[in-house]
Amino acid sequence: MIKLITWCLKTIPVFLMLTFGVVFVHYLNAQGRLTTIEEILFNTFVVLFYAPFYITVLFKWIGEDDDFDN
C-alpha cells in the first residue's frame, strides 16, 4: 500500500507537467498569440521534447528501492 501511494505521488506531477505544457500551447493558440502553424508545432515540439526526460526520471524514481518500506 505504501509503495502504491509513493508511486502515485511520484507519477502524478510528471503527467500534470506534460498535460499543462500541451494545454498551455493550445491556450496560447486560442488567444491568438501563436499565429502560424510553425509556432504551434515548435511549441508543441518543445513540450514533447522534455517528455522523455520526465519519463526517464519517473522510471528512475519507480525503480529505486525505498529503505523505509522494509
The predicted model gives 39-52 an average pLDDT of: 75
User: Does a structural domain hold residue 70?
Assistant: no
Give the pLDDT mean for 40-52: 75
Query: Mutual orientation of helices 37-49 and 2-31 as an angle, nearest 10°?
Result: 170
From CA 44, how far away is CA 25, in angstroms rounded? 6
Domain of residue 59 covers 2-64
State the average pLDDT over residues 45-53.
Answer: 74
Percent of the chain with pLDDT over 90: 0
In whole angstroms, give the CA distance from residue 51 to residue 42.
14
Q: Is 69 a domain residue?
A: no
Contacts of 7 by beta carbon, 8 Å cutoff, 6+ apart? 62
Residue 70: what pLDDT? 47
Q: Is residue 34 part of a domain?
A: yes
30 Cα distance to chain centroid? 21
The count of structural domains within the chain is 1
pTM above 0.95, yes or no: no
Answer whether residue 36 is part of any domain. yes
In a domain, 57, yes or no: yes
